[in-house]
Amino acid sequence: MHTITIHTTKAYEILMEEGLLATAAEHISKVLPPAEDGHAAKSAPRKCCVVCDKTVHQLYGQKSQPLLTGLLEAGYSVHVYVFDPGEKSKTLRTAEDLCGFLFENHFGRNDFIIALGGGVCGDLAGFASSIYMRGIPYVQIPTTLLAMADSSIGGKTGVNAEAGKNMLGTFWQPALVIADPETFETLSETELLNGLAEIIKAGFIGDTSIFDAISEGLPAATAKAIQVKKDIVEEDEFEGGKRKLLNFGHTIGHAIETCSKYTVPHGFAVMTGMYLTALAADERGWSSEPMAGFIKSAIDAFAYPVYTDCTAAELAAAAKDDKKHEADNITIIYPDRPGTCAMKELPISDLEVFIASGLTKAQGR
């Protein structure tokens, strides 16, 4: 089993191994025992709420399936909260409904949540766990490549608002992350590409060996991407500086998602965001060496259907409302050289011109 320990304000482990979903209860019980004193017969069993969307519920969230069977056999009182799949459910309203479900089932501060699913589920369940009774523990069990390689790691939680993606959120580290690559078998090619984009992003940020690891298999590449994020998060847990590097491609990418009303998958939007940012940065001479060509090679290698029908004005307007800007500036993360990204403050008034230069350069490529 591959184990990575994250040392933040609360240390926790990421466990990765095929078949781990079936033995998840065993690992959870070491961190969050079924009863407070360790003896279920002497005290009320600890409650856990498995949060998942309808698709994941059918695949992994039934009481007859290994995860829940294991939890029940371990002595937990198991409850299941199911929501509609997709970004449309990642709202304050859903989070409030989930908190109401916990309250109705008498969850206390000693009880916990299990986020079973992709990035939407992890963000939503993590956010609810951070605000319910001012915070209860939660376990991340990512079932998508995107969640496993990126969103389940680092403690960012959140829901979307009218103003933009993830505008309401907290930093709330999980108690444990359990990653079973066997869940990749249920993912579509689109969903795999969605997650692969974040792995590719990690390669451009901090480890070019990730590109070779992809050919070895997704679990190996995922582990390397997690290591890149671990190193950054441990140095800057609350995104005061270096952690902003993880937003490479996300300023434009989140704008594309918002403008498309989330019809463009996150990873596809990020790939486009990385490419447009690199083109614009190259044109301004920011990078130590031209980088757009490297990113275009990755796009072509995996046949990403990237780019966007949105105008520079539309994207700039969406990005201006993003949480990444401060005062009159927005932080642009751009590739400086292979395996290294850098940050530059750009005046908000110049953002539309910056995006437009990327769009213009992308035409015909």
Whether 247 is catalytic is yes
Q: Which of 27, 87, 198, 237 is catalytic?
A: 198
Average pLDDT of the chain?
Answer: 94
Mean per-residue pLDDT, 254-268: 93
Report whether pLDDT(42) > 70: no
Read off φ and ψ for residue 220, nearest 5 degrees.
-65, -45
pLDDT at position 364 is 62
322 vs 287 pLDDT, higher one: 287
Find the catalytic residue in 27, 46, 165, 229. 229
Inform me whether the pLDDT recorded for 41 exceeds 60.
no
> Which uninterrupted H or E stretch holds 166?
strand 164-171
Q: Residue 163: which of 217, 92, 220 has the closest Cα? A: 92
Sign of CA dihedral 118, 121, 123, 125: negative
The active-site residue out of 46, 47, 254, 352 is 254
Whether residue 38 has pLDDT greater than 60: no
Q: Find the radius of gyration of the CA atoms of the chain.
A: 20
The answer to which of 81-90, 287-296, 326-335 has the lowest mean pLDDT is 326-335
Min mean pLDDT across 155-159, 215-219, 277-281, 323-327 is at 323-327
Catalytic choice (46, 156, 230, 244):
156
160 is catalytic: no
Q: Which pLDDT tens digit goes with each residue over 172-211?
A: 999 999 999 999 999 999 999 999 999 999 999 999 999 9
| C-alpha span between 212 and 210 (Å, rounded) | 5
Please give the structure tokens belonging to residue 333.
């993360």
Catalytic residue (choose from 243, 244, 257, 352): 243
* Longest CA span, the chain: 70
In this prediction, residues 79-96 reach a mean pLDDT of 97
Between CA 227 and CA 202 the distance in angstroms is: 9
What pLDDT sits at residue 15?
98
Distance CA 239, CA 80 (A): 33
Residue 323 is a catalytic residue = no
Region 313-326: mean pLDDT is 81
Residue 134 bears catalytic tag: yes
Looking at residues 90-101, what average pLDDT do you find? 98
Which of 237, 239, 257, 352 is flagged as catalytic?
Answer: 239
pLDDT above 80 for 39: no
Q: Mind listing the domains of the chain with CATH numbers?
A: 2-186 (3.40.50.1970), 220-362 (1.20.1090.10)
- 93 in active site: no
The pLDDT confidence band at residue 43, using thresholds 50, 70 and 90, is low
Which of these is catalytic: 160, 166, 194, 247?
Answer: 247
Active site annotation includes 254: yes
Q: Which of 30, 42, 93, 134 is catalytic?
A: 134
Q: Which of these, 131, 67, 72, 68, lies nearest to 97 by C-alpha position?
A: 131
| Confidence band of 52 (pLDDT split at 50, 70, 90) | very high
Helix, strand and coil in the chain, % to nearest 5: 50, 20, 30
Q: Is the pLDDT of residue 365 over 70?
A: no
- Neighbouring CB atoms inside 10 A of 112's CB total 22
Supply the pTM of this predicted model: 0.94
- The residue that leads in pLDDT, 365 or 170, is 170
Where does the pLDDT of residue 146 fall: very low under 50, low under 70, confident under 90, or very high at 90 and above?
very high
Instruction: Give the C-alpha separation, 20 to 182, whole Å.
Output: 8
